[in-house]
Amino acid sequence: MHPIFRGIRKLTPVQAIVSYYFLAIAISVGLLNLPGVHQQGVQVNFIDSLFTSVSAVSVTGLSVLNISETYTTFGIAMLMIILQLGGIGIMSLGTFVWLLIGKKIGLRERQLIMIDHNQHSLSGVVNLIIEIIRLLLLIELIGALLLTVYFTQFYDTFSEAFLQGLFASVSATTNGGFDITGESMIPYHNDYFVQIINMFLIILGAIGFPVLIEMKAFLSNKNKNFRFSLFTKITTLTFGILLLVGTVVILALEMFNSFREMSWHEAFFTALFHSVSSRSGGLVTFDITEFSQGTNVFMSALMFIGASPSSVGGGIRTTTFAIAILFLINFARGKNEIQIFNREIQLIDVFRSFAVIILAIFMVLFATIALSISEPTLSITAIVFEITSAFGTCGMSLGITSELSSFGKSLIMILMFVGRVGLISFLFTIGGRTTKTKYHYPKERVIIG
Amino acid sequence: MHPIFRGIRKLTPVQAIVSYYFLAIAISVGLLNLPGVHQQGVQVNFIDSLFTSVSAVSVTGLSVLNISETYTTFGIAMLMIILQLGGIGIMSLGTFVWLLIGKKIGLRERQLIMIDHNQHSLSGVVNLIIEIIRLLLLIELIGALLLTVYFTQFYDTFSEAFLQGLFASVSATTNGGFDITGESMIPYHNDYFVQIINMFLIILGAIGFPVLIEMKAFLSNKNKNFRFSLFTKITTLTFGILLLVGTVVILALEMFNSFREMSWHEAFFTALFHSVSSRSGGLVTFDITEFSQGTNVFMSALMFIGASPSSVGGGIRTTTFAIAILFLINFARGKNEIQIFNREIQLIDVFRSFAVIILAIFMVLFATIALSISEPTLSITAIVFEITSAFGTCGMSLGITSELSSFGKSLIMILMFVGRVGLISFLFTIGGRTTKTKYHYPKERVIIG
Ligand SMILES: [K+]
Ligand SMILES: [K+]
């Protein structure tokens, strides 16, 4: 066994992921302070530089500065590298950790990723990671090519079109959410082609690598006994339902408000795009401060849920949300077991979901109170939106990011970090080791209501 | 068996409680529209009359009108009767239902209320209910006497002092939260005697009848084998911790804000009183719109948690909150069983807590979005405060109640009703009947994060 492999294996998953992120953030701060990164005359102080690094590594996209006015083309190239470190890096590390955890808790990983039979070996793991990196780079490249060709009509030179196309594709696929247009995707508000490409890229990044790998296995049709894992079914269904509900609710809430002068297709695309984007993408095609407060609250809830586990997105994750809903439905029916897709959800996963949800709610509540004290002039709506956006590593903002105090920026950085690493990663290290209770007490009922 | 007893016994708990409330609301609307109830020249439209009835029966105290400027002394007497219907009525009914449920689910009610051995019999139940009513009327009477004697120094006539004292005592003990001063307890901002009496009365009403009965049994010292039930221990501890945390946090958040010109004891009492009041009391000694947004959010969270089960208060209830926290602590420690006070919490109670919390969060979220659409001029902070105040049947408000649209008033009425009946009552009817799953599917793990 290779010594690096053995060294990493000694780390708990959360240690591995946290170490990776600290390293990646340190590298990012370095890259963003190389000579030639900043445009002439632009000064970026340390906290803003750190904020940009954390935001890029966590592929959130909240930004305290205007990227296109701050960085040179070289700087933008560095930013793209950082997005890859964040987006693709975590996917690979995620796979790695999952396979290790799979072994540690005696779980056969074939249940999770049902394609390859030799994942127990180092070469199997390496092959899988190479496959993930190759797959995501391929997606980014296709996106970049399509957008570049299309953008040539808007830009004078091919290299300018290519820079725009490549950055847009990387930012969408890694769900980075940064923009070099200076106003996100608002210039493409009526350009459905660009929006569709972007939405596809965002979804491919946010749907989770097991889904991508299983889809590939399914399409390649090599394995006759192939079936989609329960995980893939649940996360894809939840993702789809969230997109649908998101679109319908935004449309309903804004129809007579900010959408009232739009054509039906314009309104539909605006609703759809922001529904997709609130999973984790963070790009906008519309000035979202024009949305009503109700829509802002609703989008905060969507961002809080976030994207699939083992994807580039954050939040409590789709499966956590799905299990909570499934639990509620089953409980209301008087059933003790959660059955779906001819499978039963294990009790420990139900417990994990609850732990994540309760912890996340406390975190958001605590952060809201803290920010409302440190930023007394900002509305609670904008604060909650910013917090859920950071925790969901989404990156949409009601425009308050650059106004935040240093304390506020630090808190948002922590939230981006926690959102990206995932509360469950912390709980996982614990969840694996079940302390056997040595003695039992008599059970006693408690009045709940 | 008495036919009424048999008839009520056929109802599920939620049917019994809901029926009681509908009846009580109907009676209240009748009482508040008797001739001589309104002051001369005052007109109250139907929705405001209904709102006042629902608010009084649910002992919430949110009010769309100024009580002292709307009702005559006779009207105020009617309001006090309605508060008794709401506060004491539900305590008695609660006992009754609990004893019935205890039997239905094969639970020995001695585990819940550990004093009387003949509760199986009708006379045992009736005795218990009479004891509750007697106990609460006694508390109200003592409160009224103390306040009346004290108030004689402020009012010209004894009858005026008695009216003020009696109403204040009834409003505090039933946690009704209404006032006839026109500005809640703000006139007593510096009167710690009145505040202490009121806090005692509020706590006695909100701590739950099993606690009161067990306390009485403990103090009377008749039963040598008496021990406090797990329920009483958990709910009292949680209640105490919430009071303490509430006081400390409000003090910390407002120390340099609205409290900055107060003396230490004034600041302490203001923080303490609103911490007590946010459990369910709803009275204020200070213009709470002067609190910072952060404090408002924090108080919303406190009101969302609410009071003890089987008390005059609402919300998700202290035990629900306590079990969620205990679960989180135990989960983080890697334990599967929740052990506390040398007892184990049953899995079904953990599930119930989760179901209540998730449902309550959805309800608050939905109501927030709905109200922010129907009342576009109001801030989300004020809306969330109003909603959690209604759901927690607390009755504090940032002053928006009377400004609400008819839709808004209706939604708040529903929330007060649901908060008072309790989500768990709905879930309880289901929770009792556990449908045996006929077939089992293989279990499969799902990635949570
Ligand atoms: K993002
Ligand atoms: K109240």
The two beta strands, A343-344 and A339-340, are: antiparallel
What tokens were used for B302?
């406190």
Residue type at position B369 = I
Q: How far is the CA of B395 from the centre of ligand 2 (A)?
A: 5
First to last CA, chain A: 56
Label residue B154 by pLDDT band (50, 70, 90): confident
- A345: which chain B residues are within 8 Å (Cβ-Cβ)? 443-444, 446
Contact between B114 and B214 (Cβ < 8 Å): yes
Q: How far is the CA of B313 from the centre of ligand 2 (A)?
A: 7
Angular region, B405: left φ>0, alpha ψ -120 to 50, beta rest: beta
Separation of alpha carbons B253 and B297, rounded Å: 11
Q: Could you give the 3-state DSSP secondary structure of residue A367?
A: helix
From the CA of B359, how many Å to the nearest CA of chain A?
Answer: 8
Tens digits of residue pLDDT in B343-382: 777 777 788 888 889 989 999 999 999 999 899 889 999 9
ipTM of the complex: 0.85
Contact between A104 and A9 (Cβ < 8 Å): no
User: In this complex, do B437 and A336 lie within 8 Å of one another by their Cβ atoms?
Assistant: yes
* Stronger pLDDT, A274 or B10, i.e. the higher one: A274
Residue spans of alpha helices (H) in A207-338: 209-220, 230-254, 264-276, 293-305, 318-332
Q: How far is the CA of B167 from the centre of ligand 2 (A)?
A: 14
Residues 6+ apart with CB under 8 A from A90: A17, A20, A59, A312, A420
Q: What is the pLDDT of residue B43?
A: 84
A340 membership: H or E segment, kind and range: strand A339-340
Q: What is the mean pLDDT of chain B?
A: 81
From the CA of B178, how many Å to the nearest CA of chain A?
Answer: 24
Tens digits of residue pLDDT in A316-372: 888 889 988 988 888 777 776 777 777 777 777 788 888 889 989 999 999 999 999
User: In this complex, do A431 and B334 lie within 8 Å of one another by their Cβ atoms?
Assistant: yes
Residues 6+ apart with CB under 8 A from A405: A374, A375
> How many CA atoms are closer than 13 Å to the CA of A159, on its beta-carbon side?
1
DSSP letter string over A79-142? HHHHHHHHHHHHHHHHHHHHHHHHHHTT--GGGTS-S-S-TTSHHHHHHHHHHHHHHHHHHHHH
Q: How far is the CA of B420 from the centre of ligand 2 (A)?
A: 10
User: In this complex, do B380 and A442 lie within 8 Å of one another by their Cβ atoms?
Assistant: no
Query: Across-strand partners of B340?
Result: B343
Q: Which of B210, B263, B217, B260 is nearest to B239 (CA)?
A: B210
Q: How far is CA A337 from CA A326, A345, B270, B428, B432, in A?
A: 10, 7, 48, 18, 15
Separation of alpha carbons B91 and A4, rounded Å: 66
User: In this complex, do A446 and B324 lie within 8 Å of one another by their Cβ atoms?
Assistant: no
For the segment A426-440, the average pLDDT, to the nearest whole number, is 52
Question: Is the four-CA dihedral A129, A132, A134, A140 of positive or negative sign?
Answer: negative
Q: Which of A111-115, A197-201, A425-429, B289-293 has the lowest mean pLDDT?
A: A111-115
Q: What is the mean pLDDT of chain A?
A: 81
Q: What is the pLDDT of residue A95?
A: 66
* Stronger pLDDT, B41 or B102, i.e. the higher one: B41
Q: How far is CA B226 from CA B104, B116, B218, in A?
A: 25, 10, 7
Q: Could you give the 3-state DSSP secondary structure of residue B299?
A: helix
Tens digits of residue pLDDT in B282-330: 888 888 888 988 999 999 999 999 888 878 888 888 888 998 898 888 8
Query: Across-strand partners of B71?
Result: B38
Residue type at position B308 = S
The number of helix segments (H) and strand segments (E) in chain B equals 17, 2
The two beta strands, A339-340 and B339-340, are: unpaired
Separation of alpha carbons B318 and A318, rounded Å: 29
User: In this complex, do A231 and B358 lie within 8 Å of one another by their Cβ atoms?
Assistant: no
From the number of C-beta atoms within 10 Å of its C-beta (0-12, 13-18, 19+), residue B35 rates as exposed
Rounded percentage of chain A residues whose pLDDT exceeds 90: 21
Q: Which of A267, A296, A295, A275 is nearest to A400 (CA)?
A: A296
From the number of C-beta atoms within 10 Å of its C-beta (0-12, 13-18, 19+), residue A392 rates as buried
- B329: which chain A residues are within 8 Å (Cβ-Cβ)? none
Question: Is the four-CA dihedral A381, A386, A387, A393 of positive or negative sign?
Answer: positive
Residue spans of alpha helices (H) in B105-157: 122-151
- A334: which chain B residues are within 8 Å (Cβ-Cβ)? 430-431, 433-435
- Does residue A243 carry a pLDDT above 70? yes
Query: Across-strand partners of B38?
Result: B71
Q: Which residue has the tokens 């009965």?
A: B213
Separation of alpha carbons B430 and B401, rounded Å: 34
Contact between A314 and A213 (Cβ < 8 Å): no
Which of B317, B349, B356 shows the shortest C-beta gap to A445?
Answer: B349
Q: What is the pLDDT of residue A118?
A: 40
Residue type at position B68 = S
Q: How far is CA A313 from CA A74, A208, A218, B44, B384, in A?
A: 26, 8, 24, 53, 28
Q: Alpha-carbon Rg of chain A, whole angstroms?
A: 22
Label residue A388 by pLDDT band (50, 70, 90): very high
Separation of alpha carbons A254 and A265, rounded Å: 14
B13 membership: H or E segment, kind and range: helix B13-31
Q: How far is the CA of A203 from the centre of ligand 1 (A)?
A: 11
Q: Which residue has the tokens 């998700």?
A: B316
* Stronger pLDDT, B389 or B328, i.e. the higher one: B389
> How many CA atoms are closer than 13 Å to the CA of A413, on its beta-carbon side?
21
> How many CA atoms are closer than 13 Å to the CA of B287, on its beta-carbon side?
4
Q: Could you give the 3-state DSSP secondary structure of residue B317?
A: coil
DSSP letter string over A182-242? SSTTGGGTT-HHHHHHHHHHHHHHHS-HHHHHHHHHHHHT--TT----HHHHHHHHHHHHH
Tens digits of residue pLDDT in A189-226: 888 888 898 899 999 888 887 788 788 778 877 766 77
Separation of alpha carbons A90 and A85, rounded Å: 7
User: In this complex, do B323 and A353 lie within 8 Å of one another by their Cβ atoms?
Assistant: no
Separation of alpha carbons B306 and B400, rounded Å: 21
Q: What is the pLDDT of residue B389?
A: 93
User: In this complex, do A327 and B425 lie within 8 Å of one another by their Cβ atoms?
Assistant: no
Residue type at position B5 = F
